């Protein structure tokens, strides 16, 4: 729904994933969607220009004002709007000024950020780690392992801790949710791999809380209690909404930043 005259416009969050690109207006006080979420399948190949076109189509279907802040997640390292990696997306994204790309496509300012950073920030601001002090490490277990570091509410972007080398392996090639499915691991077998992964994070960062997100978090009761670490570990609560909510939060904050 569009903002009434004299009231701030609801920011838009856009989550670019491997199978679908989703968008919604977001109530940044409640962490909920305003109206329906809209979705279009991710184009193949998902080149920057084709993804930008899909995002434009998504915003055309939302009932929102043209001055609403827009945040777009990208599954890659993003520094000052420029994409710096492409582990799980089309290689043509590397080096692209994504903020410029989306600004041109949408005709307005756009904030672009790493997808795990957006999801993690949402969990700290409005989800499982709300009001939690100290260092929170949010992980998203999916095709790979995304991570977000948030210290006392401040995001430290582009942590990419899913690519830590552990026992001679890229961590996500051993412990991602996709690996459990591909190798048909039981939750008990997978939990042993996750324990090894989270133990390494624990040793390196001494966090105050782990939050486990990604689609598999809806089954947290089947494996979370099997992860043997000293740090408190909890399931994400925003689930698949986290990326959109975080994108909208970060875009809204960027729009009101003195910078």
Residue 208 pLDDT exceeds 70: yes
For the stretch 49-69, pLDDT in tens is: 999 999 999 999 996 667 899
CATH 3.30.420.40 matches 12-115+242-247: yes
pLDDT-derived band at 258 (thresholds 50, 70, 90) equals low
Give the pLDDT score at 67: 80
Residue 47 pLDDT exceeds 90: yes
Edge to edge, the sheet with strand 20-27 lists 32-41, 20-27, 12-16, 70-74, 110-114
Residue 184 pLDDT exceeds 50: yes
Give the pLDDT score at 89: 86
Superfamily of domain 128-237: ATPase, nucleotide binding domain (3.30.420.40)
Give the pLDDT score at 6: 45
For the stretch 114-149, pLDDT in tens is: 999 999 999 999 999 999 999 999 999 998 999 999
d(CA 249, CA 14): 11
Specify the pairing of strand 135-141 against strand 209-213: parallel
For the chain, helix (H) and strand (E) counts, in that order, are 7, 14
For the stretch 243-254, pLDDT in tens is: 999 999 999 999
User: Are the beta carbons of 81 and 98 closer than 8 angstroms?
Assistant: yes
Secondary-structure percent of the chain, ordered helix, strand, coil, rounded to 5: 40, 25, 35
Specify the pairing of strand 154-156 against strand 145-151: antiparallel
Residue 242 CB partners (closer than 8 Å, separation 6+): 118, 119, 120, 122, 123, 127, 140, 213, 236
Give the pLDDT score at 8: 60
SS3 162: helix
**Location of each CATH 3.30.420.40 domain in the chain:** 12-115+242-247, 128-237
Percent of the chain with pLDDT over 90: 86
- Answer with the residue of higher pLDDT: 186 or 86: 186
Neighbours of 51 (CB within 10 A): 25
Cβ burial of 165 (10 Å; 0-12, 13-18, 19+) is exposed
pLDDT-derived band at 79 (thresholds 50, 70, 90) equals very high
SS3 37: strand
Residue 259 pLDDT exceeds 60: no
Specify the pairing of strand 32-41 against strand 82-83: unpaired
pTM above 0.85, yes or no: yes
Cα 160 off chain centre by: 12
């Amino acid at each position: 729904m569009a903002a009434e005259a004299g009231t701030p416009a609801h920011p838009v969050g856009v989550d670019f994933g491997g199978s679908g690109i989703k968008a919604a207006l977001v109530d940044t006080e409640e962490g909920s969607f305003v109206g329906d979420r809209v979705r279009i399948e991710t184009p193949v190949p998902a080149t920057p220009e084709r993804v930008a076109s899909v995002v434009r189509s998504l915003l055309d279907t939302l009932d929102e004002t043209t001055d609403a802040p827009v945040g777009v997640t990208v599954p890659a390292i993003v520094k000052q709007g420029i994409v710096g990696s492409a582990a799980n997306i089309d290689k043509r994204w590397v080096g692209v000024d994504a903020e410029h790309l989306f600004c041109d496509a949408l005709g307005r300012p756009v904030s672009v950020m790493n997808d795990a950073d957006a999801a993690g920030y949402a969990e700290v601001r409005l989800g499982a780690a709300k009001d939690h002090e100290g260092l929170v490490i949010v992980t998203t277990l999916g095709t790979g392992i995304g991570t977000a570091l948030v210290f006392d509410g401040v995001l430290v972007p582009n942590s990419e801790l899913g690519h830590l080398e552990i026992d001679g392996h890229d961590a996500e090639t051993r412990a991602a949710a996709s690996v459990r499915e591909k190798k048909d691991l039981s939750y008990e077998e997978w939990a042993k791999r996750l324990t090894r992964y989270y133990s390494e994070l624990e040793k390196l960062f001494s966090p105050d809380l782990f939050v486990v997100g990604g689609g598999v978090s809806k089954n947290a009761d089947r494996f979370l209690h099997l992860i043997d670490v000293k740090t408190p570990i909890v399931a994400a609560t925003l689930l698949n909404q986290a990326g959109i909510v975080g994108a909208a939060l970060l875009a809204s904050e960027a729009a009101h930043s003195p910078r």
